[in-house]
Amino acid sequence: MVSTAELLVDAFGRVRDVVHRAVDGLDADQLQFRVDGEANSIAWLVWHLTRVQDSHVAEAAHTEQVWLADGWSDRFGLPFPRQATGYGQSADDVVAVRVESPELLLGYHDAVHEQTVRYVEGLTDADLERIVDESWDPPVTLGVRLVSVVSDDLQHGGQAGFVRGIVTRRGTET
pLDDT per residue as tens digits for the range 60-82: 999 999 999 999 999 999 999 99
Neighbours of 158 (CB within 10 A): 13
Q: What is the pLDDT of residue 1?
A: 85
CB–CB of 96/79 below 8 Å? yes
- Kindly indicate whether the domain formed by 4-168 is annotated with CATH number 1.20.120.450: yes
User: 5-44 burial string, b = 16+ CB within 10 Å, else e?
Assistant: beebbebbeebbebbbebbeebeeebbbbbeeeeebbbbb
pLDDT per residue as tens digits for the range 146-173: 999 999 999 999 999 999 999 999 865 4
DSSP 77: T
SS3 141: strand
Instruction: Determine the Cα–Cα distance for residues 50 and 74; give it in Å rounded to an integer.
Output: 16
Instruction: Determine the Cα–Cα distance for residues 27 and 16; give it in Å rounded to an integer.
Output: 19
Neighbours of 91 (CB within 10 A): 13
Tell me what percent of the residues of the chain surpass a pLDDT of 90.
95
Q: What is the pLDDT of residue 13?
A: 98
Q: What is the pLDDT of residue 34?
A: 95
Domain layout of the chain by residue ranges: 4-168
Confidence of residue 2 (pLDDT cuts 50, 70, 90): confident
Instruction: Determine the Cα–Cα distance for residues 150 and 10; give it in Å rounded to an integer.
Output: 10
Confidence of residue 46 (pLDDT cuts 50, 70, 90): very high
Measuring CA to CA, which residue among 140, 112, 130, 132 is closest to residue 55?
Answer: 112
Stated pTM of the model: 0.95
Could you tell me the CA-to-CA distances from 68 to 41, 52, 64 in Å, in that order? Answer: 23, 13, 7
